[in-house]
Structure 1
Amino acid sequence: MASDLSNILEDEDSGPTLYFVDSSKCKIPYVDPFDAAATAIYKPLVFESCSNDTGLVTPIYNEAIKHYVLHINETLASQILNSSNIEYNCYYQEVVRNAKKDGYDVKEAKYFSQDFVVPRHVQGLVSTCHRLGNASHILQADAFTLIQYAEPSSKNQSSQDPSRRKPSVIMFGIDNLSRINLRRTMPKVYNFLTRKGWYEMQGYNKIGDNTFPNLMAILTGHSLDSAKDNICDFKKRGCMDKYPFVWNLFREAGYLTALAEDEPSISTFNYVKPGFVEQPTDYYQRPSQKAFETLLPQWKCPECTMKYCIGRRITSSYIYDFGSEFVRRYVDERPIWGLFWTNSFSHDNYRMPSKMEDFVLQYLLDFEADGVYEQSIVIFLSDHGNRYGQLLDLPSGFLENRLPTMFIYLPPWFRAHYPEYTRALQQNKRRLTSNYDLYNTLVHLIELGNPEKTPRWPRASSCPKCHSLFEVADEERSCEDAGIPEHYCTCVPFKTVSAKWTERIAPLVIRNINGYLEERNLTGICANLTLHYIHRTEMKIDLDKNYHEESPFVEVAVYRTKFKVKQGSADFEATVSFNNATETVEVEMPSISRVSSYEKTAKCVENKIDRLYCICLSSL
């Protein structure tokens, strides 16, 4: 927690405060990203470029004919060949989606000449130039996703009448980035996001452990259990196509839609899941991304666990370029919705965003140059903060994990025409909010200009009390009201307890984990877990109690315990109800968090929850 007024949060209405949210039902403490404990472990990283090479082939969009043309830099070709007399050829291979294997196919090579007009059906391609007569002497290979022009229908024509105007919605997501770590690692980006028109949801609290449940709540309004029980099991092929994803609602309302995510092996809708049978959005980048990382060389920086470069470019640039092309093509013409999500530089290392600060900032500035902020609502978000590693060992680790980045930008025309929505968003900056509220906000935006008085689409199914962020949230809101499970709730403070008797809690949690593995018939491949040591145990302090007074002994209370097991040196954290008299704990299995990486120790199981708790015997 901040210790002096120079570092604490400034409330626009009432001056300094020590809390992001401060009410009788919710107190989320403010965290100084640069306090002594964080500064002691954090050192920023330096950006590295993938290549200094200029592009030999560049797809250029010709506005006059509304087609891409492939332009060859002939001067560069001569420089590479060290001669202007040596001839060369260039060809491209089209990448197409293969739905049967959640992958791609690459079509036969087609040679092209200068300023070749690309057919509109080509949405992804790999280009290669080689010396004439010697296909193995490659001058350069590159890859591109194209946003080919689609003729507008009467349904998606844009109107400049504010009462009928449909705002475009651009969602710019970075995995594993708390609002605290955003300020620490990307201060320039943070400063950009605090300019006029931007609103930071400072009480925005995640509702699930990892990416999938948090994005599902944002994009469908369902929890995983609700979606599975009421619609279908997402592990079954074809199920994902049946979910009421918000992009389907936007498309029904006349929007063009786009979806892109890097690191296909861990992408949100495909990791240990079958993904989509039908292409989910009008523009879908996954097949191209999978092809590019297979067909082009890769490179990892020394700090990287994921691909830093694919070919000549940074992995995430394929996603951001795809998004930039999408908004550039349509933002002035018709309403669009797009989600552009990156994992590659943030998923495994909390320091990596510092390496990419200027890189990300440049795309935000490019959006400005392209007029995006004049037309569109922009949402800059994350799914959660760090789930394991050094940040979780800080006193603020519980908050780092549970308070993801959430900024919303409203364009000038929207603020002018909907002042009541703007005021509500301003008030909600310091109120408790969740993923379900964001889902309701997206549905609210779809319905703007709808002459019907009643909403056409349902609000978040898994949170009856949640509402649009354009409606003022109750100041006395609780986590239960916002659909936030207790394990992820940051509203009620916890305090470290060092009494000897608290050492009985962690072994009981481990007993529950082992019981789960036994029920799942996994004891033959997963280790029986035993306690190595306890990091810390904290007791929940009710809001009507004085946090700074000595914690009284109580028979039943809620505790949060973090511990390490001997097998695989894995770390876990759990929020439990512990009965001191009966020496029993009450805890739901999915809410026991694995807070150390399980990528290498859980390969023997596929189920996402099983992977949290299984330490494969083969890995020991």
Structure 2
Amino acid sequence: MRFKKFCINKKVCLLIIFVMIFSVYFMNSFNIYGQVPVKSSGCVLPNIDPFDRSIQQFIQRPDPLSCSANHDVTYLNEFGQVCLNETAVKTLGMDLASTECVYNAVERYEDDDHILYQPARKIRFPMDISAADFFRVSCTDKSGSVHTNLHAHIAPQKMRINSNIQSKDQTRYNVYIFGVDSLSRLNGIRMLPKTYKYLTEVLGAFDFQGYTKVGDNTFPNMVSVLTGMHPYAKPTELPLVDPLYDFYDSYPLIWKNFSDAGYMTMFAEDQPLLGTFNYLSKGFNTQPTDHYMRPFWLAIDDSYPADKFISPLLLMLESRKVQLSKSSTLCFGNLPKHVILIKYYEQFIKRYNHLPRFAYSWLTELGHSHLNIVQLADDTFLKFVQKLNADNHLKNSFLLFMSDHGHRFDSIRRTLIGRIEERMPLVLMKVPENFQNKYSLATKNLRRNTKRLTSPYDLHETLKDILSSSFVAKIKSNNANKGISLFKPIPEKRTCADAGIGENYCSCYESRSVNITKHFIQRIGKFIVSEINQMLSTKKQCHRLNLESIKSSHKKIPPTNLIEHSFLFGRKSANAETDAGVYTVLIETKPGKGWFEATVDYQNNLVLKILGNISRINRYGNQSICIKDRLLRLYCFC
């Protein structure tokens, strides 16, 4: 009766009720950042503004990259031939008429940690050095002045030609993987705006917004891409390798499959000390791909041995706009190091233009240690992709411009947005020119999957499909398989568990802050420390850690399909709120001031469980130098 008196016009009343219901639902659909989350019934993907005000303090613009103004005595022309720079010879005060140069081929020797310099041979300019991909040039004149340089190119005699494969595989798609370490999707948008815009808007690359890591650092994430298996899985999925004594030759890395199918293969990675398969490990016994750039970077370290230890300090200063010399530590001679790697990449593609190619590169130094340094390469990356496109190298190729995870150590990592970024790296995929018309269903799936939860296992299945040209099958995805090709439909109800993503890396939740002074949060903090000490119990060189403080605590809120909805009053928890639940807690320990983050399933003070791994989120330098275990070094304070 009262309702009738209030509602003189039924249409107006119905409109008011509709607005009320819509408003309640709409407000509940917003996450803590004020952005509408990307929703599916199985996962609520965070949709964060890359320039959110809460992280503006961490975004800085370093000074432009400046390399030596002095030109090297020798250089490589566009054909990869070594040439004499007569202008540089004269500038250095050398006598051009009497200047003579020799080269020493630099070769991989026995394993990943040794190189061999072949006997010197005279150079007649311009000259194609066919002995090896890498060589050292020494030039001298009658005064005895000596100038040296190192060069990298694709040696022409390396060509592995099989006429049957060549004729059969004219239409095979090339695969170009270009990786940048520690680059979240959001930081890619911030730091590489020109490259990102060109790839997504001009080339139409697919941007996978739900791509989530499955391991802490580069090794587990990229091994999962390259093998489809996790190196630390229990029970063991991959051949057992003791990194201190064994090699990774037994790993079924997918470039072997491409090589067996007639593809020419390349693996190029900078910073040999931090190599994916070489950090605290022996790497490979036999050269893993047709072209392998590691010997070149070893030769640089051999020529300037102190640099590999000083460079991190110099780069830290440069990130704070303090440069101690006219040339950046990111340079080798008058070229940025990443430019040298890109030129090697370009030569590989150009040299084997008539054969199918699998190229895989990884740039570590630009992204690994500092959030803002990678932006110095935006123009270079843009020109690289533009050149590939202009020269028609992308016409018949898949290009994956990607990373392994977001930033793990810079200050932004201590924020809630930084935590999410660390779990969600950049992955952009450019497909061949005619692919969308030829395979409309696969393209439709790719587009839809950019809004779905995806993982490195999915990329592996995608690479397998590219190799076998499996783009037209309408077979439903096997939900029991943690990896699903991106060419196939990924279920909307997919969860992190379905995708092989550990609970501690899962970003499919909203969360709310919990007061760190609460007794049960303190209990969780002490539990995390006890778990770390338990892991270190066999390492007597490491101090026993104690809880210094709790920095933050957040409780995970389940996805919407686990929440009851009331018709008029929005959503409410299916159960009354209790302390029990899943918490992400950030702590500081002593000694050593280590910052550790863990996801803990808390039921009561006696029933607690660590979900996944405990992450180290601040730099630890040489704190753990007394042990060589690549996992436990994260936690040990010697």
Superposition TM-score tier, normalisation by shorter sequence:
0.7 to 0.9
Question: What one-letter code is carried by the residue in structure 2 that aligns with 1:216?
Answer: V
Other structure's SS at 1:278 match:
coil
Question: What one-letter code is carried by the residue in structure 1 that aligns with 2:338?
Answer: S
Question: Is contact 1:147–1:322 with CA below 8 Å preserved after alignment?
Answer: no
Distance of 1:361 and 1:494 partners within structure 2: 37
Question: Is contact 1:463–1:482 with CA below 8 Å preserved after alignment?
Answer: no
Deviates more, 1:402-411 or 1:537-546: 537-546
Question: Is contact 1:330–1:336 with CA below 8 Å preserved after alignment?
Answer: yes
Distance of 2:88 and 2:229 partners within structure 1: 53
Compute the displacement of 1:419 (Å): 1.8
Q: Which residue of 2 aligns with 1:587?
A: 610
Deviates more, 1:219-228 or 1:549-558: 549-558
Question: What one-letter code is carried by the residue in structure 1 that aligns with 2:527?
Answer: L
Asked if 1:125 corresponds to 2:135, the answer is yes
Other structure's SS at 2:206 match:
strand
Q: Which one of the candidate residues 197, 200, 219 is aligned to 2:204?
A: 197
Asked if 1:600 corresponds to 2:622, the answer is yes
Q: Which residue of 2 aligns with 1:515?
A: 534
Question: What one-letter code is carried by the residue in structure 2 that aligns with 1:414?
Answer: F
Cα distance, 1:117–1:235 mapped onto 2, change above 3 Å: closer
Q: For residues 302-350 of structure 1, what are the alpha-carbon distances to aligned partners after superposition, in whole Å with 9 as ceiling and x for unaligned?
A: 326995223332222232121111112123x111001110001110000
Asked if 1:291 corresponds to 2:312, the answer is no
Other structure's SS at 1:575 match:
strand
Distance of 1:291 and 1:82 partners within structure 2: 26
Asked if 1:561 corresponds to 2:585, the answer is yes
Report the identity percentage.
29
Distance of 1:463 and 1:186 partners within structure 2: 37
Question: What one-letter code is carried by the residue in structure 2 that aligns with 1:565?
Answer: T
Q: Which one of the candidate residues 103, 108, 111 is aligned to 1:97?
A: 108
Distance of 1:230 and 1:529 partners within structure 2: 33
Question: Is contact 1:71–1:114 with CA below 8 Å preserved after alignment?
Answer: yes
Cα distance, 1:379–1:155 mapped onto 2, change above 3 Å: farther
Q: Which residue of 2 aligns with 1:10?
A: none
Q: Which residue of 1 aligns with 2:349?
A: 327
Question: Is contact 1:131–1:139 with CA below 8 Å preserved after alignment?
Answer: no
Asked if 1:358 corresponds to 2:375, the answer is no
Question: What one-letter code is carried by the residue in structure 2 that aligns with 1:320?
Answer: I
Q: How does 1:175-254 map to 2 (within 5 A)?
A: 175-195=181-201, 196-226=203-233, 228=236, 230-235=238-243, 237-254=245-262
Asked if 1:370 corresponds to 2:391, the answer is yes
Question: What one-letter code is carried by the residue in structure 2 that aligns with 1:513?
Answer: I
Q: Which one of the candidate residues 426, 441, 444 is aligned to 2:462?
A: 441
Question: What one-letter code is carried by the residue in structure 1 that aligns with 2:88?
Answer: L
Q: How does 1:142-157 map to 2 (within 5 A)?
A: 142-149=150-157, 150=159, 152-157=161-166
Compute the displacement of 1:29 (Å): 1.5
Question: Is contact 1:436–1:463 with CA below 8 Å preserved after alignment?
Answer: no
Asked if 1:406 corresponds to 2:427, the answer is yes
Question: What one-letter code is carried by the residue in structure 2 that aligns with 1:364?
Answer: V
Q: For residues 67-114 of structure 1, what are the alpha-carbon distances to aligned partners after superposition, in whole Å with 9 as ceiling and x for unaligned?
A: x53221224322332765x52121111100012462211122222122
Q: Which residue of 1 aligns with 2:338?
A: 316
Cα distance, 1:555–1:31 mapped onto 2, change above 3 Å: closer
Question: What one-letter code is carried by the residue in structure 2 that aligns with 1:516?
Answer: M
Deviates more, 1:166-175 or 1:89-98: 89-98
Q: Which one of the candidate residues 600, 618, 622 is aligned to 1:576?
A: 600
Compute the displacement of 1:370 (Å): 2.7
Question: What one-letter code is carried by the residue in structure 2 that aligns with 1:527?
Answer: H
Other structure's SS at 1:423 match:
helix
Cα distance, 1:88–1:304 mapped onto 2, change above 3 Å: farther
Deviates more, 1:289-298 or 1:202-211: 289-298
Other structure's SS at 1:504 match:
helix
Distance of 2:491 and 2:474 partners within structure 1: 23
Distance of 2:385 and 2:243 partners within structure 1: 36
Compute the displacement of 1:360 (Å): 2.3
Name stretches of at least 5 consecutive residues in structure 1 with no aligned partner. 1-16, 63-67
Distance of 2:471 and 2:417 partners within structure 1: 44
Compute the displacement of 1:186 (Å): 1.6
Question: Is contact 2:579–2:603 with CA below 8 Å preserved after alignment?
Answer: yes
Q: Which residue of 2 aligns with 1:12?
A: none
Q: Which residue of 1 aligns with 2:5?
A: none
Other structure's SS at 1:568 match:
coil
Compute the displacement of 1:549 (Å): 7.7
Cα distance, 1:142–1:277 mapped onto 2, change above 3 Å: closer
Question: What one-letter code is carried by the residue in structure 1 that aligns with 2:508?
Answer: C
Compute the displacement of 1:557 (Å): 1.2
Distance of 2:141 and 2:571 partners within structure 1: 75
Question: What one-letter code is carried by the residue in structure 2 that aligns with 1:445?
Answer: I
Cα distance, 1:87–1:156 mapped onto 2, change above 3 Å: same
Distance of 2:292 and 2:88 partners within structure 1: 32
TM-score where L is the length of structure 1: 0.87
Other structure's SS at 1:396 match:
helix
Distance of 1:275 and 1:439 partners within structure 2: 21
Q: Which residue of 1 aligns with 2:410?
A: 389
Q: How does 1:267-306 map to 2 (within 5 A)?
A: 267-295=275-303, 298=307, 300-301=314-315, 302-303=317-318
Q: Which one of the candidate residues 482, 493, 500 is aligned to 2:518?
A: 500
Cα distance, 1:230–1:352 mapped onto 2, change above 3 Å: closer
Q: Which one of the candidate residues 330, 347, 365 is aligned to 2:368?
A: 347
Cα distance, 1:284–1:228 mapped onto 2, change above 3 Å: farther
Deviates more, 1:361-370 or 1:381-390: 361-370
Q: Which residue of 2 aligns with 1:108?
A: 119
Q: Which residue of 1 aligns with 2:82?
A: 70
Cα distance, 1:425–1:266 mapped onto 2, change above 3 Å: same
Distance of 1:171 and 1:255 partners within structure 2: 14
Q: Which one of the candidate residues 42, 52, 63 is aligned to 1:25?
A: 42
Asked if 1:476 corresponds to 2:499, the answer is no
The structure whose Rg is larger is 2
Deviates more, 1:353-362 or 1:334-343: 353-362
Compute the displacement of 1:126 (Å): 1.3
Distance of 1:553 and 1:88 partners within structure 2: 82
Name stretches of at least 5 consecutive residues in structure 2 with no aligned partner. 1-33, 321-327, 565-569
Q: Which residue of 1 aligns with 2:557?
A: 541
Q: Which residue of 1 aligns with 2:28?
A: none
Cα distance, 1:319–1:19 mapped onto 2, change above 3 Å: farther
Compute the displacement of 1:380 (Å): 0.4
Cα distance, 1:157–1:197 mapped onto 2, change above 3 Å: farther
Compute the displacement of 1:401 (Å): 0.7
Question: What one-letter code is carried by the residue in structure 2 that aligns with 1:260?
Answer: A
Q: Which residue of 1 aligns with 2:180?
A: 174
Q: For residues 270-296 of structure 1, what are the alpha-carbon distances to aligned partners after superposition, in whole Å with 9 as ceiling and x for unaligned?
A: 111111111100111111211123225
Distance of 2:242 and 2:206 partners within structure 1: 34
Other structure's SS at 2:496 match:
coil
Question: Is contact 1:197–1:412 with CA below 8 Å preserved after alignment?
Answer: no
Compute the displacement of 1:608 (Å): 1.4
Q: How many residues align?
A: 577
Distance of 1:51 and 1:106 partners within structure 2: 26
Measured on the aligned residues, the alpha-carbon RMSD in Å equals: 2.9
Compute the displacement of 1:615 (Å): 1.1
Compute the displacement of 1:407 (Å): 0.3
Q: Which one of the candidate residues 40, 56, 62 is aligned to 1:45?
A: 62
Question: Is contact 2:414–2:617 with CA below 8 Å preserved after alignment?
Answer: no
Question: What one-letter code is carried by the residue in structure 2 that aligns with 1:34?
Answer: F
